[in-house]
Chain A
Amino acid sequence: MIKSFRGGIHPTGNKSYTASKPIEIALLPSKVVIPVSQHIGAPCLPIVAKGDLVKKGQVIATSAAFVSSPTHASISGTVIDIAQYPHPVFGKCLSIVIQNDGLDEWTDGIPLVRDYEKLNDDEIKNIIKEAGIVGMGGATFPTHVKLSPPKEKKIDLFILNAAECEPFLTADDRMMLEYSERIVTGVKIVMKVLGVNKAYVGIEDNKPDAVSVMQKAFEGTGVEVKAIPTKYPQGAEKMLIKVLAGREVPSGSLPMDVGVVVQNVGTVVAICDAVVNGIPLIQRVTTISGSAVKEPKNLLLRIGTTFEDAIENCGGFVESPAKIIMGGPMMGFAQSNLGVSIIKGVSGILGLTKKDINNGMESPCIRCGKCLTVCPCGLNPSMLSILGERDMYEEAKLEQNLFDCAECGSCVYVCPAKRNIVQYIRYSKMKNNADAAKKKEALAK
């Protein structure tokens, strides 16, 4: 019996929209809009100019910084614009627009075939960096950085995060069913680079098919595939580590501090493609779902495809959506328009109706305590929301562990008073950060 983490919720899964739909290759868009910043870290600078011809897989923007990740052309064609375009996370971002020439030609030298066993760790890490691979669960942290922990941190365990705890999303589920060989290879490559011989695959038990396929695929590799009780936010790294390894990452620390590295399913598939076939990260599997979408699907989409083109692949909308979400409904980003493009971290696009959202009038907290019961971080969201509401953000930080909040949204989900707790928490964090920056500036002077 696997012991679960404290708190958590059981939102309506809504995965049946797409769980049984095989991954479909989306039609090539007439143009792609590729932002130079699709990751956490230093943004890239364009190395192509307006009018240049580019081919699929060619680097079009890069950065010299270690915590950064280059960007590649996802189709072949002509660069028709380099300017500010809508971005699903940052609002606006410098983007490179490529007009499709319809040829879909690879740049020189790829794809290729090579044996990862013959590569040394630094070569593999470099390939991963050059391929522009970032955490594809949504965090978009550059993968090569995660695979290069400082010497003093001894890593002894790798965890493949296949929990996919967000409602609606089924991209990881489908990849496990259809890309099992690439997942196994990807995991082996990561284990080799990290120098670990112990690994777990954590899959929520609402995906029994994926569990059995993975168990079969990993047979004889020493990797343990574990079905874990479904509960949101299982896919949060710290929760998954707690459930699978029984280790609690100390407050303010990282998984590597307890000897663990976690990667998402999509990321190991991309690692396999890059290391074995030399293919950079130019496409990803994304779930297009929600009750406003005509025909929900799991699509293999080129990076830079606009949301509009992606949804067009699903027959458009059956009713006007109240919200468009990038990612899952619990932690995703609401979009103001469909002009934004698929970036490396887009695990889903959701068209949610008013009924899906189930919003109500916000009222004062009645102190029912539900939020404390569900908070996986062991906080008092009720108090945090009240402090945020009253601009008492310093007290929130000093007395209520403000910065331990992972913003998973469980508290908001259960709140009968419909309070926007996470919004108050983000506000308080922002205010504290602004104060800290001001203080730093004053000290510098």
Chain B
Amino acid sequence: MSEIKLKDNIFTISTSPHIRAESSISKIMWTVSIALTPAALFAIYHFGISALIILLAGSLSAVGFEYIVQKLRKKPITITDGSAFLTGLLLAMCLPPAIPAYMAIIGSFIAIVIAKHSMGGLGYNIFNPAHIGRAALMVSWPVAMTTWTNLSGKVDAVASATPLNILKQQGYSKLIDTFGGAPQMYKEMFIGVRNGSIGETSTILLLLGGIYLIYKGYANWVVPVFMIGTVGILTWVCGPTGLFSGDPLFHIMAGGLIIGAFFMATDMVTIPITKKGQIIFAIGAGALTVLIRLKGGYPEGVCYSILLMNAVSPLIDRVIKPVKFGARG
């Protein structure tokens, strides 16, 4: 009938719809990794070659572990979808720069094999795998996980402790002193010239990455805004010298809040699926962070607060459901 010979009229049969948008899991995962790149590059510049080694050890071993698990489980190999790489990268970015590389690899093992694949693999894990990896290392090697690089050209106090450590152990005025004044402190924390985990220090570069993700539609603005906002408001209200005497700006830029709020608390798999549920999640994670920072034994609480909220996410999804069309009159 026409120039094209049809092979016995064999056509694909399936239910509608018959067209799909250009989006895929691997596109999402690799885009998130790209969004993390500026902060990772800054970390290598700031902390030196040891940071690069840990970033590589974490991300590449995560991919390796995913390959091994999928091979053993006789499942399709999906290491190119970028999800394992992203988990390893996020884990490495949450580790201190002085940690031995083998610990990063063990962290990746726990993240990929235990937190992700023992739950059923991509999409089925309840907890953020990178944070599970970090938490496991924290309880296994507490000293290594809290030993910070000696930054050259800095006074001793700044060099060997994170700002949150100084706040916890020596108080707010000592913290300001070590930076040489509040404006100087804000500036250095904004740029990222401070001690801390590899990828958490540069507020500006993490913000850029996060905003890029929101712009691409791969992350929700709701979660970071509500989580950071909650931390800001609560730390301001519950200040060291009475109500409204806190320093919200410091707390927002300190520790792992920015990377946690933009890259961990937005992990689609482990947070509630509705916007309302995500707001509850974000406020809960922010409040728990403040509770741990101000009242707990640890100087920082972003990792644990997100994990705790991961645990209640299925419950939130059971309670908070979308309102169906025609139900509001």
Contact = CB atoms under 8 A, between A and B. Distances in A.
B287 to A, nearest CB: 23
Q: Which of B13, B28, B123, B325 has the most CB of A within 10 A?
A: B325
B326 A294 contact: no
Q: Is the interface of A mostly helix, strand, loop or mixed?
A: loop
Contacts of B4: 316-320
Nearest to A236: B325
Given A369-B273, A376-B325, A337 B11 contact: yes
A394 interface: no
Contact of B329 (A250, A323, A378, A415): A250
Interface stretch (A203-211, A261-269, A350-358, A432-440): A350-358
A366 B326 contact: no
B14 interface: yes
A401 interface: yes
B11 A336 contact: yes
Chain B interface bracket (under 10, 10 to 19, 20 to 34, 35 or more)? 35 or more
Contacts of A375: 322
A366 B14 contact: no
Nearest to B218: A368
B21 interface: yes
Contacts of B324: 251, 377-379, 401, 404
Contacts, number: 185
Interface string B1-24: 111101101011111111111111
A128 interface: no
Most chain B beta-carbon neighbours within 10 Å: one of A249, A352, A414, A416: A416
A422 interface: yes
A363 interface: yes
B327 interface: yes
A56 interface: no
A43 interface: no
Tell me which of B14, B17, B24, B124 has the highest count of chain A C-beta atoms within 10 A of its own C-beta.
B17
Interface in A1-60: 5-6, 9, 11-12
Contacts of B18: 323, 325, 329-330, 332, 334, 350, 352, 356-357
Interface of B: 1-4, 6-7, 9, 11-25, 27-28, 78, 120-124, 220, 268-269, 271, 273-274, 317, 321-329
Interface of A: 5-6, 9, 11-12, 167, 238, 242, 248-253, 294, 308, 311-312, 315-325, 329-339, 350, 352, 356-360, 363-370, 372, 375-380, 382-383, 400-401, 404, 407, 409, 412-418, 420, 422-423, 426
Closest 3 CB pairs of A and B: A316-B2, A409-B17, A364-B123
